[in-house]
Structure 1
């Protein structure tokens, strides 16, 4: 048999014909659209099942609500993988909010830097208020559809949020959960703007301001350097937090159902996390700020840094669910917060046979140590419980809608290669490999270790570089790995999406030599 790139697209699918867009994101919780199973016969604690990509074997079961967030190093590896594949084919993978069926508003761009807005209505200086009710129909003609309820007004709350139905003046934050008033909070903490404490805070002045941009269809609330309670204390040390909430109109609704929209959090500068009345001293300690959203009906999500002082302080420099520093985007479609076409997640998996696969593409994750595994599942009809499609065949996915077809999950129990992937190691290779599955590529001829192929030809092969043929005897830390997709990978995705002729037009070399100049990695 002659090795050929067509072996990578056996039965494969593609997201689009080269003219479309794929969105990707980094959620923190198991997406709610995955099919649920009752794993133990107890009502109310449904779970998802994980299906190992190669053998279609169920590894374990995990309840919903589990954390699947990637750490900073993993997010960086995922972004590198996306960027690398984009380089040579018209895959057009973009972070959530930039593409994938967005509506009439302008696209979400930038990072945590505050978006420039003109004019607006400042909130009068105060503590825990004022919290004015604002008519938003000049931007959202049909109102907003937030979990089945249409809202044409919202309250702008001094303490770092907007809410629906009632103002929220509570100054000490709690975990943002399913109960209470519908709330969208980029930074829920005790804001105090009673004094113009511009020294040593540089402009703009610390007054919250909201803006209705009727041209671009964006509602914005900016906290442009706000201080914490108590600004009147003689020992108060002024500090400034600069953060922003934006709601982008995405159309899709009518007078009855309300519009689709995007929720955008931007964090430019965070210097304090708690007010004096929340147990803080000089802006720190006490009850730390929280961020996220809740429907008030059982649906919610928090920014991973919530309640963790050091993490909240680092929001401006930490990648959000977009992969961009300080930027979070949540898409609300038909009333539900959805994820993007391809999501990246991680968990700590413990399989029934003791083997922990490194990356699993295409299906829901398992997450916590000690989660129930297959041996505890009551019932023999296992096949009917599986989720069917995997990332090798994503043709059934609909662009702009959530789908399990392209989701990737990485096993944090596999070791440092996955939990702390570097630029030139096994972890980065795994991100390249699993993302290739999500794009529609298979193992060569459907075999992970087909002897006709190795990693010098394709990242989709399990066989090492030909100089390292003894796979079992190679230390992962000493092995060499591709730092880019290889020749057959390039040809295969050209066939699926077409060649990207806009990059590296000055020569015919896609990538240069290994960054550290060694022979351990190769382009």
Structure 2
């Protein structure tokens, strides 16, 4: 499946809680800003400058903060499930990350030197409902490049609103996974789990350094400066990539 290893430090069992401040073993470049620490928040998101307990998911673009949200909703890890986080600077996880990124973003000759994995493993929806949902955020860096993977395991059904994607200060860059804030977000037919922007169901990949992002089609990388230009195209096809050339928008379907 799409998941990276689910292991590491276990965050405390606190509803709407967060990990302590985690010092990163390598700096992480995120759309023009450099971060040396991170927080794994129990409600399905990562933040950099402080913890975030907010359990009501907010629609991107928010324009408020740098946030990576594979599954922002009201989760509760007091009953079942664990929230793990781990960092890698050597070994097979780096090899896997290097291979994945070079497949999704060819031509960069990328070499991962650091991987951070946060896993919400079989965590319940509030309040200790006994449901089991597994999602993951993977941060990858090497040289001047940085990337985020969002990986999806089994997603329990819920009527809660769910936001998946990322946002930045001022929303100069943001992305909303298709299906967010709809019934297609959860359950066995979740678009997060069945869909992909890299032709691998349950995995979504993004380049996050210096505002240059790309998506792959037919072995070539299409770059676009601002995710918000892509936004109207996200909902046209699950297997689509968008190339933005000036103000012209060209939709290219992956095969």
TM-score strictly above 0.5: yes
Which of residues 189, 209, 227 is equivalent to 1:333? 209
Please tell me whether residue 244 in structure 1 is matched to residue 132 in structure 2: no
Deviation at 1:226, TM superposition (A): 0.3
Counterparts of 1:83-102 in structure 2, within 5 Å, are none
Which of residues 177, 186, 202 is equivalent to 1:303? 177
Aligned to 1:121: 9
* Distance change in 2, residues 1:116/1:125 (3 Å): same
Deviation at 1:251, TM superposition (A): 1.6
SS state at 1:144 partner: strand
- 2:44–2:75 CA contact under 8 A, matched in 1: yes
Which of residues 162, 174, 183 is equivalent to 1:289? 162
Which of residues 203, 207, 214 is equivalent to 2:82? 207
Counterparts of 1:138-287 in structure 2, within 5 Å, are 138=25, 140=26, 143-195=27-79, 197=80, 206-215=81-90, 216=94, 217-231=114-128, 236=129, 238-252=130-144, 260-272=145-157, 284-285=158-159, 287=160
Deviation at 1:317, TM superposition (A): 4.4
Deviation at 1:386, TM superposition (A): 8.5
In the superposition, the TM-score normalised over structure 1's length comes to 0.38
Deviation at 1:342, TM superposition (A): 4.0
The structure with more helix, counted as a fraction of residues? 1
- 1:186–1:291 CA contact under 8 A, matched in 2: yes
Name structure 1 gaps, 5 residues minimum: 1-110, 198-205, 253-259, 273-283, 349-361, 366-384, 388-403, 411-430, 433-523
Q: In structure 1, how many angstroms separate the alpha carbons of the residues matched to 2:126 and 2:234?
A: 38
* Distance change in 2, residues 1:180/1:323 (3 Å): same
* Distance change in 2, residues 1:337/1:163 (3 Å): farther
Deviation at 1:154, TM superposition (A): 1.0
SS state at 1:310 partner: helix
Aligned to 1:133: 21
Counterparts of 1:346-425 in structure 2, within 5 Å, are 364=244, 408-409=251-252
Q: In structure 1, how many angstroms separate the alpha carbons of the residues matched to 2:85 and 2:247?
A: 47
Q: In structure 1, how many angstroms separate the alpha carbons of the residues matched to 2:180 and 2:82?
A: 23
Cα deviation digits, residues 384-432 of structure 1 (max 9, x gap): x987xxxxxxxxxxxxxxxx9xx6447xxxxxxxxxxxxxxxxxxxx88
Deviation at 1:310, TM superposition (A): 2.7
Deviation at 1:364, TM superposition (A): 4.4
Q: In structure 1, how many angstroms separate the alpha carbons of the residues matched to 2:181 and 2:251?
A: 27
Q: In structure 2, how many angstroms separate the alpha carbons of the residues matched to 1:307 and 1:179?
A: 18
- 1:261–1:332 CA contact under 8 A, matched in 2: yes
SS state at 1:194 partner: coil
SS state at 2:184 partner: helix
Aligned to 1:315: 191
SS state at 2:65 partner: coil
- 2:177–2:192 CA contact under 8 A, matched in 1: no
* Distance change in 2, residues 1:147/1:347 (3 Å): closer
* Distance change in 2, residues 1:319/1:132 (3 Å): same
- 1:306–1:312 CA contact under 8 A, matched in 2: no
* Distance change in 2, residues 1:346/1:165 (3 Å): closer
The structure with more strand, counted as a fraction of residues? 2
In the superposition, the TM-score normalised over structure 2's length comes to 0.74
